[in-house]
Amino acid sequence: MTPSRASVVVFDLGGVLLPFDRERRVRAVAERFGVTPEAVRALEAEVAGPLDRGEIDERALLDGLCALAGEAVAMDEALDLWLSVFEAPNAELWDLAARLKGRVRVAGFSDNPAFVRRVVVNEGLFDPLFLSCEIGAVKPTAEAFEAVRRGLAVEAGEILFVDDSPANVAAAKAAGWDALLFRSNAELAAALAERGLP
C-alpha cells in the first residue's frame, strides 16, 4: 500500500456518481413531442456544449425544446426531460464518498449546466461542487483543471480525481493530479484502498 498524498478527492458526476445514457434523453424527448431521434440529437448538438460552458442557460434550452415541440413547454418539464439522461444514482459510490469525507475533503467536478443540481443526491457532501458552466471551462482543458485547483486552494499533487473518461484522467495527470479511471465500484474501492483510503 502506498499512502495517498491526497487531501481532497474530486469526483466526476456523470458516469461516476450519476450513471447516464444519452439515448435515454433522446427517447424521452422524442416520445414526449412525437419527433425523430435525429431531431433531438440535433438539438443536443446545438445546445449541450454552450450549456456546459455557461454560454447559454436553461432559458435557451427551453426555447430550443419549444421550437422542437412546436408547442409551449413548461420550464420544469424541459429541465426534467433534459436531465432524463441520468439513470438512478450510484448509491454505493455516494456512500463511499461520504465515508471518504471523514478522512479527506470531497469535491465534485462536472461538465454540466447549473440545473444538474436537481439530480445531485447530496450536494452538501461536496466542498465544493465545481460545474463547468460556472468556471467557464470544460474538461479536459487545462484551464478547467487549473480553475478547480485554484478553487480548492491546494497544490496539484494533493488532488485525487475520479472520472470515467480516459481523456479527462490523462488531463488531470498532466496537471499534476493523481487520477483514477472509474470502471466499477469494486475497482475504485480497491484503488483507493491501495492509497490508504478511506
Question: What does the pLDDT look like over 149-182, one tens digit per residue?
Answer: 999 999 999 999 999 999 999 999 999 999 999 9
Going 71 to 74 to 77 to 83, the CA torsion angle's sign is: positive
**Whole-angstrom distance, CA of residue 101 vs CA of residue 98:** 5
Asked, for residue 3, whether it belongs to a domain, the answer is: no
Asked, for residue 1, whether it belongs to a domain, the answer is: no
Asked, for residue 2, whether it belongs to a domain, the answer is: no
CATH number, domain of 98, equals: 3.40.50.1000
Pick from 67, 83, 99: which residue ends a domain?
A: 83
- In this prediction, residue 1 carries a pLDDT of 61
Pick from 83, 102, 123: which residue ends a domain?
A: 83
- Chain-centroid distance, C-alpha 135: 13
Residues 155, 114 share a domain: yes
Radius of gyration, CA atoms only, the chain: 18
The total of structural domains in the chain comes to: 2
Domain housing 34: 22-83
Residues 122, 44 share a domain: no
Buried b (16+ CB within 10 A) or exposed e, 95-105: ebbeebbeebb
- The answer to whether residue 3 scores a pLDDT higher than 80 is no
Residues 39, 95 share a domain: no
Give the pLDDT confidence of 59-112 residue by residue, as tens digits: 999 999 999 999 999 999 999 999 999 999 999 999 999 999 989 999 999 999
Residues 125, 155 share a domain: yes
**Whole-angstrom distance, CA of residue 155 vs CA of residue 140:** 19
Residues 181, 101 share a domain: yes
Contacts by residues 166-172 (CB-CB < 8 Å, ≥ 24 positions apart): 167/139, 167/140, 168/12, 168/139, 168/140, 170/140, 171/139, 171/140, 171/141, 171/142, 171/145, 172/145
Q: Which three cell numbers stand for residue 117?
A: 443540481
**Whole-angstrom distance, CA of residue 3 vs CA of residue 35:** 53
Q: Which three cell numbers stand for residue 133?
A: 458552466
Q: Mean of the pLDDT values across residues 129-152?
A: 98
Residues 66, 132 share a domain: no
Residues 115, 59 share a domain: no
Report pTM.
Answer: 0.95
- In this prediction, residue 4 carries a pLDDT of 76
Pick from 83, 100, 125: which residue ends a domain?
A: 83
